[in-house]
Amino acid sequence: MDVTVKILVLILAVAGGLVYRNVTQLWADLPAPKLDPQEWWGDEAQPKDYEAYLQNSSEVIGNRLSYPDKTIADLKERLNRTLRLTPPLEGVAFEYGFNTDYLREVVEYWRDDYLPRWREREVFLWQFNHFTTDIQGLRTHFLHLMVYDDNKVGKKHYPVLLLHGWPGSVREFYDFIHLLHQTNLDKNNKYIFNVVVPSLPGYGWSQGTSRKGLGPAQVAVMMRNLMLRLGYDKFFIQGGDWGSIIGSNIATLYPENVLGYHSNMCNNLSPKSLAKGLVAEFLPSLFVPSGFEDFFFPKSNELRYLMEESGYFHIQATKPDTIGAALTDNPVGLAAYILEKFSTWTNPSYRSLPDGGLTKRYKMDALLDNLMIYYLTNSITTSQRLYAEQYAQAQRDLHLERVPTRVPTGCARFKSDIMQFLDVQLKDKYPNLVHSTYHKKGGHFAALEVPKVLYKDFIDFVKTVERKFKIKTL
């Protein structure tokens, strides 16, 4: 072997070693980072005596927020100003976004049918106990439903934290809450739950921060602190969208507090997971139960769908205040922007329908309830900032996607959701994935669209956790 060949072999060996080292470092599991449980997000300066602050701010206050007639009258007046909507292109339904012909119909219903019944809708929204408390400097809103002693007889009783996402709110969970909390109505059901449903920071009636850095990891710290404030040191978690990510973060950072983590949007975006997803397309029978291949493949369809549906994501992750300014005090624009997601994220085929299929799976009043929460609380901008914080460098540096979450995990997949992940991908992140299911009907907003299906899936998960991990009830 001449000198030139020897040098070439040496270069290739060194290069191969460097590539191997970098790949293994990129794929290796990492320990959980330590986040400050007292990190301050309030507008004012952080108190010097934090313990005194905790004692003075630990009060949980019952609330029944209402809005004066002039606020509703002003909204009605704004809804009258819809004459300049640009007509849709010929033959276009929802393919270009919200169809403006149908938007006029929605606005008319909102203005002329829904708003005259607003006081009835208020009563509906306040059917559960609403509270606020101060967590790390921010006023935090939540629903809290507790089980009375006489309803516990013969029941297995656990606390559960329900976490919503964008563009949802606590309203998504109302039917699901009834199933969890009022199971005493069904004598054959052995489960009943104390239910906590917070509005995420900057969403609904929860205060947003004026400081940079409040990303999903920091929100997880706040939600765990809320549960501890309410006296729950062990609890289940259920969530989708941001609720899935924040719930996963709680389970990752504080496994000692989590009985089990259940999500209808489990994901793993680590480099190792993405590589496995690409490999699996060539051998789908090895990775997917028979009959569910179309949940995952072909990947080209999923990629095309994500490209078509992720424009909002990019602008909210880079310029949330710009789109927020465009939607603030603009109820018609806000309706188009939010309600369009309840069309295409529920079923992508609904893009071909002139009404976006909105009332195929939802009642219009339920959609408008959710929209009213964003409008009345002026929370569209603060809610969208969570996207920018998720992709800020400080948040990415936590590498939480590479920290194993070892608590019992359950994943419910709904066919029409935005993206799907294989068990072989999820088990890198969730080694105790003990429950994995597939549902042919349903999309991104499962709690609102198919609450009974989600409830049964969650209960089946709880049963599995009980059997495998011998957990204790309250």
User: Which parts of 66-190 are beta strand (E)?
Assistant: 130-135, 138-145, 156-163
Determine the residue type at 206: S
User: Is the distance from CB of 409 to CB of 251 less than 8 angstroms?
Assistant: yes
Sorted by sequence, the CB contacts under 8 Å of residue 44 that are 6+ apart come out as: 137
At 422 the three-state DSSP class reads coil
Determine the residue type at 301: N
User: Is the distance from CB of 141 to CB of 132 less than 8 angstroms?
Assistant: yes
Residue 122 CA: distances (Å) to CA of 32, 129, 274, 443: 42, 13, 45, 27
Write out the two tokens for 213: 């850095």
Whether the upstream peptide bond of residue 298 has omega within 30° of 0, thus cis, is: yes
For CA atoms 331, 334, 336, 338, the dihedral sign is: negative
The residue with tokens 């349903």 is: 442
Phi-psi region of 262 (alpha: psi -120 to 50; beta: other; left: phi over 0): beta
Strands 235-239 and 258-263: parallel
Radius of gyration of the chain (CA): 24
Write out the two tokens for 410: 């359950």
Q: Could you please report the per-residue DSSP string of 318-368?
A: H-HHHHHHHHTT-HHHHHHHHHHHHHHTT-GGGGGSTTTTHHHHS-HHHHH
Annotated catalytic residues are 241, 387, 444
User: Is the distance from CB of 239 to CB of 178 less than 8 angstroms?
Assistant: no
Cα-flanking dihedrals φ and ψ of residue 283, to 5°? -135, 60
Q: Read off the DSSP letter of residue 145.
A: E
At 313 the three-state DSSP class reads helix
Determine the residue type at 445: F
User: Which parts of 227-352 are beta strand (E)?
Assistant: 235-239, 258-263
Determine the residue type at 224: R
